[in-house]
Structure 1
Amino acid sequence: MPHIAIPGQTPGIRGLMASKPASGRKLNELAQQLLRGDSPLSVGERELIAAYVSDLNRTRYCTGSHSAAAAHALGGDYELVDAVKKDPATAPIDERTRALLAIAAKVQGDARNVTEQDVAAARAAGADDEAIHDAVLIAAAFCMFNRYVDGLDAILPADPADYDEIGAALVARGYVATRD
């Protein structure tokens, strides 16, 4: 049961944002920029970072929705997304993504633990400064989004299959509603 009144009983972060539309709009714009704006990281890689950090934070709504979005952006590869959440060190991903996920995990725990060696490993694996920047900012932002969702006890979808629909919509339409 959410800690605040949610208009229309909309699940997840969307419901929370609807309770305060001005800040909700800004948060959606931030998510749009981070996950769909210009970046050397693909949409799938960015959604994977969001899903992984959300899973580390044990935020069910964000883990479910961003895992589905990552899978849709990666050609429907739920097994890959699940493997990353289980253990990025053994998941079938490239070394650049593995190094960026290692940095994201440190940002999730205590960002001060990101070392020059972590950054050097990411660079050696092919990440440039912009990719490293984007991975850190996505991880940090998702810690905030996760705490927002959990701190207000957002409504969870009744059917776990709803996450697939949410993920497909995020990949198709992004985070900022457009007028037709």
Structure 2
Amino acid sequence: MAHIELDDGVPGLPALLAFRPETAGPLSALAEALLRGPSPLERGERELIAAYVSELNGCDFCASSHGACAAAQLPGGMSLVRQVHANLAVAPVSDKLRELLGIAAAVQRGGREVADEHIAAARAAGATDVEIHDTVLIAAAFCMYNRYVDGLGTSVPSDPDAYARMAERITVHGYAAGRG
């Protein structure tokens, strides 16, 4: 049950966006820019970073919704997302994406946890400064989104198909339409 008066029929971030339309626009625009705007990282890779950080933070809604978005846009689908969540070290992703996810995990623990070694490893695997920047910003933003969703006790769908439906809508219409 939510800690504030929310529509329990609307799960996660969308309930919060409906509650405070004044903040919905900027929050949705940020997600749109980070996950769907111009970037050398593919949309599915950016969604995977968001899902991975959310999984590390224990935010079921964001891990599931962004995991579904990543699965809809990456070869390997949900199996790949589950493998990354279970054990990044052996998940079938490129070395570059593995190193970027390692940076994201460091950001999740705390911004100062990102060490020169993380950056050097990502660069050695082919990551550009823009990819490193985008990874850090996605990870930092999703720590905020996760705390927002969980801090107000939003509802979480129990039906995995609900996340697949969200992913279908988001991959077509995006986040700026006010849906998170």
Give secondary structure in 1 for the equivalent of 2:89: coil
Q: What does residue 175 of structure 1 align with?
A: 175
Query: Residues 25, 134 of structure 1: CA spacing in aligned structure 2 closer, same or farther, 3 A cutoff?
Result: same
Q: What does residue 33 of structure 1 align with?
A: 33
TM-score (norm 1): 0.95
User: Which structure 2 residues correspond to residues 12-161 of structure 1 after superposition, within 5 A?
Assistant: 12-75=12-75, 77-161=77-161
Higher mean Cα deviation, 68-77 or 123-132?
68-77
Q: Distance in 2 between matches of 1:24 and 1:177?
A: 10
Q: Distance in 1 between matches of 2:76 and 2:165?
A: 12
Query: Residues 116, 158 of structure 1: CA spacing in aligned structure 2 closer, same or farther, 3 A cutoff?
Result: closer
TM-score (norm 2): 0.95
Structure 2 unaligned blocks of 5 or more: none
Q: Distance in 2 between matches of 1:29 and 1:127?
A: 25
**Pairwise CA RMSD:** 1.3
Residue 159 of structure 1 deviates from its aligned partner by 2.0
Q: Distance in 2 between matches of 1:92 and 1:75?
A: 10
Higher mean Cα deviation, 3-12 or 113-122?
3-12
Q: Do 2:35 and 2:46's aligned partners in 1 also have CA atoms closer than 8 Å?
A: yes
Structure 1 unaligned blocks of 5 or more: none
Residue 22 of structure 1 deviates from its aligned partner by 1.2
Q: Do 2:71 and 2:77's aligned partners in 1 also have CA atoms closer than 8 Å?
A: yes
Write out the 4+ residue segments of structure 1 that deviate beyond 2 Å after TM superposition: none
Residue 160 of structure 1 deviates from its aligned partner by 2.6
Q: Distance in 2 between matches of 1:119 and 1:41?
A: 16
Q: Distance in 2 between matches of 1:65 and 1:83?
A: 16
Q: Distance in 1 between matches of 2:158 and 2:88?
A: 29
Identity of aligned residues (%): 51
Q: Distance in 2 between matches of 1:67 and 1:172?
A: 16
Residue 133 of structure 1 deviates from its aligned partner by 0.2
Give secondary structure in 1 for the equivalent of 2:172: helix
Letter matched to residue 58 of structure 2: R
Letter matched to residue 174 of structure 1: G
Letter matched to residue 156 of structure 1: V
Residue 9 of structure 1 deviates from its aligned partner by 3.2
